[in-house]
Structure 1
């Protein structure tokens, strides 16, 4: 890297690269990729299409084989969004352990962090590293201490205090807290034993989104494939919960969340027993106790309407996730059509249009009401890409389900660029 201008003329490698969130950020800062790898063939296909159609650099599948075969060229910056499943709250939280599955296979994803260490040991020319993972990695002190210790042992000054950031802090309306772990090789700067937020000048870059994020993201013209037909079950479920919401808004008795079977409607619970003195409330967690009471109160306060509504739509025969309603938009919305909708295991959830929930690596694409066409529809792949700050001309997979998953697994380009620029510009 040119020390006179740290933001240009540097080389980088992109480990666990996905579809190239890091690559886009480094390219904007003047970097040139010399090696990338990802185990997923669909990701490599998209990566190649966008960044190395003519094999401009090495694009590998298995990082372990790349290390064994010594095919990684020299580089200045190491980028890695190493696998998060073993650290995530939604995962099994096995950390760095190797887990043996029931079929005898071994899950070694928690060990892949140490392949980064192997590369740093071999490539002493590396001057900087930028790593990203789920916030929960930093919340576990044992795991965090292992990460810090291993990186410092490679002769780097690092961010020992977790750098937690989200796109919403940089005027991109998506809640997506991640931990960023940054390092500078000792000798590049002097007089410091660690990197701080002040060194990176992150906080002065903060600019918080204001306004309606649906208006911000929505394209006026959208492919009809994203539109939800009025005759589909999802459209019908949203319409019946809209009827429910409007009726309860009249009496201001809506409490969220509301699960129909927790209210005592259907066959899931014997509420006479649950609400009796003999029932041991310690058998169920506090959040579920609260849910039971809220649902029960809403039902008893609106029994006449809810009973008719249940019979009208045959609610007790619907899928359980369609019998649940989570209304988190009361301050900003008077209708489901004004909010951001997701169909989750916790039910039909509606959030305020101030910020989008985090994109996830599963088919759980947000739903909005498109006032241009007066229908519900899913966010398009291109619209989701805006939430990850991808380039407008980025070429995605022809399979939308694959693209949604890849975006859910990606880093946010804008956040990576801002944090990396702060790292490169640290002076003595």
Structure 2
């Protein structure tokens, strides 16, 4: 069966973008990920090993198009690219200022292949990174190569999973298309934290007396200093948990689950998969450390799916919009 659209999965991690886009009828024609452990998980679930460093396809001493031709044509370029400073950013805050960063590799591929849509994700603080210069470079560089750019901070909680995970999403069209981000759809998948918790959990996930005492001591010390740092405790009735991070494997302090008459416990890998919206048959890494890191670095699948649906709605019924230059400030219109 012919796919409805094709896409490439850059900085692929464990394939959060891929799951969402394949659900909507897309076919992945190229994937790239440099972390060997993430590549192992990717292979377990999709039957292919992503290509490594994307710069191998965009940096060459000869014509860059020679290598980017090894990337198939595609309708959508997607990826959660790293947040890097554009240290040489000048007054123009555009394409040339992005050189030396992995975002420049996205620009290079987009400039040659001209996909209909660029669908990008990053941490919320990207907007204010380097006093707003980073975001201004991104917006204006995309504009320079002919894309209409939209951006918004979206929380995973607002798209049905019990996690307060706010990320900025950038959607850019090769045509002047009108686009709107999805409306809130809370509790559409899970209504509370208890819905993602496993019924029987091995004792290995219960934190030790020593670690629990350390968490409590650090919380007291932080409160005495007047700041809000410390562990966070949730239970079955909580509406959502904090953002799971790549460091969760270290001590689990950002998300501890209350256990009556016992020390709290950390989430299991399956529970981490659920708060990121992964399907029940998703195969996570055999190493707990790597599985926690990978889920902490991942996108929330329901957010990707919701935004994607709106992208296709916009493509199906485009409204022409003006092609004026973006302002040189950290805002994408």
Shorter-chain TM-score bucket reads 0.7 to 0.9
Whether contact under 8 Å (1:25, 1:414) holds in the other structure is yes
Separation of aligned partners in 2, 1:400 and 1:211: 24
Aligned to 1:244: none
Aligned to 2:192: 213
2:45 is the counterpart of 1:50: yes
3-state SS of paired residue (2:291):
helix
- Structure 1 78/374 Cα, relative in aligned 2: closer, same or farther at 3 Å? same
Work out which of the residue numbers 310, 322, 326 in structure 2 matches 1:422.
310
Aligned to 2:298: 410
- Structure 1 110/386 Cα, relative in aligned 2: closer, same or farther at 3 Å? farther
Aligned to 1:112: 102
Separation of aligned partners in 2, 1:20 and 1:128: 18
Aligned to 2:274: 386
- Structure 1 399/29 Cα, relative in aligned 2: closer, same or farther at 3 Å? same
- Structure 1 135/376 Cα, relative in aligned 2: closer, same or farther at 3 Å? closer
Matches within 5 A, 1:139-178: 139=128, 140-159=131-150, 162-178=151-167
- Structure 1 210/350 Cα, relative in aligned 2: closer, same or farther at 3 Å? farther
Aligned to 2:118: 129
3-state SS of paired residue (1:220):
coil
Separation of aligned partners in 2, 1:201 and 1:10: 20
Whether contact under 8 Å (1:164, 1:178) holds in the other structure is yes
Matches within 5 A, 1:128-277: 128-139=117-128, 140-159=131-150, 162-186=151-175, 193=176, 195=178, 199-200=179-180, 202-203=182-183, 205-207=184-186, 213-228=192-207, 232-236=209-213, 258-259=220-221
Aligned to 1:97: 87
**Looking at CA atoms only, which structure, 1 or 2, has the larger radius of gyration?**
1
2:33 is the counterpart of 1:38: yes
- Structure 1 28/43 Cα, relative in aligned 2: closer, same or farther at 3 Å? same
CA offset digits 1:191-229 (Å, max 9, x no partner): xx464xxx33512x4325899833122110223432335
1:122 Cα deviation after fit:
1.4
* Structure with bigger RCO (C-alpha 8 Å, 6+ apart): 2
CA offset digits 1:278-335 (Å, max 9, x no partner): xxxxxxxxxx5x46xxxxxxxxxxxxxxxxxxxxxxxxxxxxxxxxxx6xxxxxxxxx
Separation of aligned partners in 1, 2:241 and 2:18: 24
TM-score normalised by the chain length of structure 1: 0.61
3-state SS of paired residue (2:284):
coil
2:287 is the counterpart of 1:399: yes
Separation of aligned partners in 2, 1:361 and 1:111: 22
1:109 Cα deviation after fit:
11
Separation of aligned partners in 2, 1:165 and 1:407: 18
Separation of aligned partners in 2, 1:41 and 1:422: 33
Separation of aligned partners in 1, 2:269 and 2:5: 31
- Please provide the CA RMSD for this pair: 3.0
3-state SS of paired residue (2:30):
strand
3-state SS of paired residue (2:194):
helix
Q: Which runs of 5+ in 2 are unaligned?
A: 61-66, 89-97, 319-333
Matches within 5 A, 1:327-338: none
Separation of aligned partners in 2, 1:109 and 1:219: 46
1:354 Cα deviation after fit:
2.7
Separation of aligned partners in 1, 2:189 and 2:5: 36
